[in-house]
Amino acid sequence: MENICLEKDSLTCDTMKEKIVSHNYFPIAFSLPHKEFRKTADHFFSFLTLPLEVKQRFYLLTKEDDRESMVGYMKREQQKGDLDEKEYFHYNRYAKDAFGALPGSEDKRVTDFFSAAHSIYEEAEDLMRAIIQEFDVSFPGLYQNFFPEDAHPHFYLRFLKYSSQGRGDLLAGGHYDLGGCTLALAESAPGLRIGRDQETLQEIEHRDGQAIFMPGLQFPELTSDDLPPAWHDVVQKKDDRMGGGEYGDDTARWAVVFFADPATLTETRWEDRHRPKSY
């Protein structure tokens, strides 16, 4: 795909629809440079050096018994049934208040990470607001679904540490993102691939000062079947670890992603998210 980056101040619904129909994603200008994400990644990895029992305190579900509504720290391991192995943290605009009184929250590793994460979150939500407002031109009611007047928006910022596999191995298996839409904001190394299905996956060139917009699984239900969700995966591009091993020998890469789900988010089966569909 020719890397034509859309600008926030000149978005048009027709242009965004055209990009999704043809490529399942589009690059859009983002206000923060890569060096700011790199600084925040440093704070995230510093947070990960906290004792496990401290990290695990930072966890809550905004919807009871719904793992997908998690805010805070989580670790997933392949031997426990997940397709990939990673540590991650979900930050939203309420996380600082929700976790502020917990034992350990005064640790500089926590306060530095939360402060940096909050700045990124605000910029990402602002950009997503502009995108949804423009889509609302063609799909009235969409903005109200993502930004309801009587409830908090269902948004969160994910910081990811992927554990090393081997060159060409999957760090994240093929899947659709649950819910509405996604902004892939930054990553430490290439490896993100996007397509309509496994056969059409193409590696994405993620340039500095750009985010990648991807429709989620529920996006066509909210808009049109002509705007299919982005099938994507992540592969490792280096032999054993991220360049230089600066974040530890077990780290393949890091990424920062912003997820926006509608208020009317519907539950889906694992199979719905991890098997490509025909659109």
Amino acid at position 245, single letter: G
Rounded to the nearest integer, the mean pLDDT of the chain is: 88
Tokens 């998210």 belong to 273
* Domains by residue range for the chain, with CATH: 8-274 (2.60.120.330)
- Compute the average pLDDT of residues 51-71: 85
pLDDT recorded at residue 37: 97
- Higher pLDDT among residues 63 and 15, named by residue: 15
More confident residue, 162 or 129: 129
Q: Name the residue among 256, 264, 258, 275 with its Cα closest to residue 218.
A: 264
What b/e readout covers 32-70, taking b as 16+ CB neighbours within 10 angstroms? bebeebeebbbbbbebbebeeebbebbeeebeeeeebbb
Q: Nearest 10 degrees: CA dihedral of 123, 127, 133, 134?
A: 160
Confidence of residue 1 (pLDDT cuts 50, 70, 90): very low
The string of pLDDT tens digits covering residues 177-197 is 988 999 999 999 889 999 999
Strand partners, 158: 90, 257
Q: State pLDDT tens for residues 4-46.
A: 899 999 999 999 999 999 999 999 999 999 999 999 999 999 9
Least confident of 1-5, 170-174, 202-206: 1-5
Higher pLDDT, 86 or 136: 136
Residues 6 or more apart in contact with residue 12 via CB below 8 angstroms: 134
